[in-house]
Amino acid sequence: MRRNTSRLLAAAVTAALAATALASTAGTAAAAAAPSAAAASDPFYSYDGTTPLSSLAPGTVLKTRTLTYHVVGLPTPVKAIQLLYRTTDAQGRPSANVTTVVRSLTGDTTKAVSYQSFYDSLDPADSPSRAVAGDLSLGGLIPNAEALFVVPLLAQGYNVVIPDTEGQTADFAAGPEYGTNTLDSIRAATRSEATGMTADTAFGLMGYSGGAIATDWAAALAPSYAPDVNRTLVGFTEGGLLVAPAHNLKYVDGSLAWSGVIPMAVIGVSRSFGIDLKPYLSDYGLTVYRELEQGSIIDAIGHYPGLTWKKMAKPQYADPNSVPAFLAAVNRINLGSAPTPTVPGYIAQGNGGVLEGTFNNPAGIGTGDGVMVAGDVRALARQYCATGNPAIKYQQYDLLSHVGATVPWAPQALGWLNDRFAGRTAPSDCGRIPAGNSLAPEQPAPAS
């Protein structure tokens, strides 16, 4: 068994390294490849049952298939189980989504990690499940490269569950939907006979950047939305977290690399909450909107240097807080207004954003890692401590940017998770976390 396990890991690592090499060059490409015909027509993603989804409990398994785990489109010796399951979207409607389960290489079914990918895309073809199945688009290189995060978990004997956190319409940045998709993915994984896991399987949550959005929202919503899942959680670990999106919009405004997330957020928020923000955009803003409507983070980073909200909006909407629909939406995805998780947490955040071309230091917002605001993350960690969760560890990397902070965070996160599964007392930085920003809901812009 040990020899076979080593061979499987070696194959997966080799493929993962290839994925990373490709991903490092992909950022210079002009646009994401179109979804493959197989991805667009794959019937597995469609629910065709006769029972309405609204009549099925969240987490109900709708379809199951086993396939070969692919990395960068190449098959590995590892098998993956994919589940179509019932969940809930950002508007509270029943929906169907897909998750991928990679069985523990040791056969242990008592422990698992739900790994939330940072695939950050507005194109469903870039989801982790499609990458695992072998469909390769440019944006899909990100979940392929994340095999470097998944392989160490498998090596430690964990089952790994990888949900398509954004759902089947790729609702980028829709935090509450990320959370329900993640929690119902865990439910589905423990209800499927194919995975070998049960309702008593212990779970940890792990994610960075876009994956941190899903991780934190899942931990926050679990006590009310999925108490059955919450009782099995040993903790959550995340890095590079989006907390108050209205602050991030101002922080990245005009930056060299990360300003492209402005139109991505506009599109994702519009899509997830069923609102139309196009009437507020300038002709240039509409052009960028159309260019990124099916784009991934690879299409956005560095492609719109100096882009600002003011350039995208009509003159009368130069202040984003003057757009009521957008204001309501960003307040709904502000983690400062979400419940406090009841399980231990390890939150890490970089603060060297100048290394990635973000030089802003807005009043009341401050600096960050290039895209995420450090003061917001500190404030959230302090809020969790003050509202009943004494087991919060916070770490800030002042000299590291968003991408750079993944290097120390990943092994530290794995070590922290190992300790939680071992039943060791969770460390706490409560009382020592520096002050952060106000996370109060945004207010409408003053009438002109």
pLDDT in tens, 359-405: 999 999 999 999 999 999 999 999 999 999 999 999 999 999 999 99
**Domain coordinates in residue numbering, the chain:** 2-242+344-349+375-383+394-421
pLDDT of residue 320: 94
pLDDT number for residue 23: 37
The per-residue pLDDT for 40 is: 55
- 102, containing H or E segment: strand 94-102
What pLDDT is attached to residue 5? 40
Residues of the chain with pLDDT under 70: 1-40, 136, 138-139, 448
Contacts of 4 (CB under 8 A, 6+ apart): none
107: burial class by Cβ within 10 Å (0-12, 13-18, 19+)? Answer: exposed
Measured between alpha carbons, how far is 126 from 301 in angstroms, rounded to an integer?
16
- CB contact at 8 A, 441 and 244: no
- pLDDT score of 16: 40
Give pLDDT, residue 448: 66
pLDDT computed for residue 139 by the predictor: 66
Side-chain-side CA neighbours of residue 29 (13 Å):
19
Task: Specify the fold of 2-242+344-349+375-383+394-421.
Answer: Rossmann fold (3.40.50)
Please name which of 187, 180, 155, 186 lies closest in space to residue 165, comparing C-alpha atoms: 180
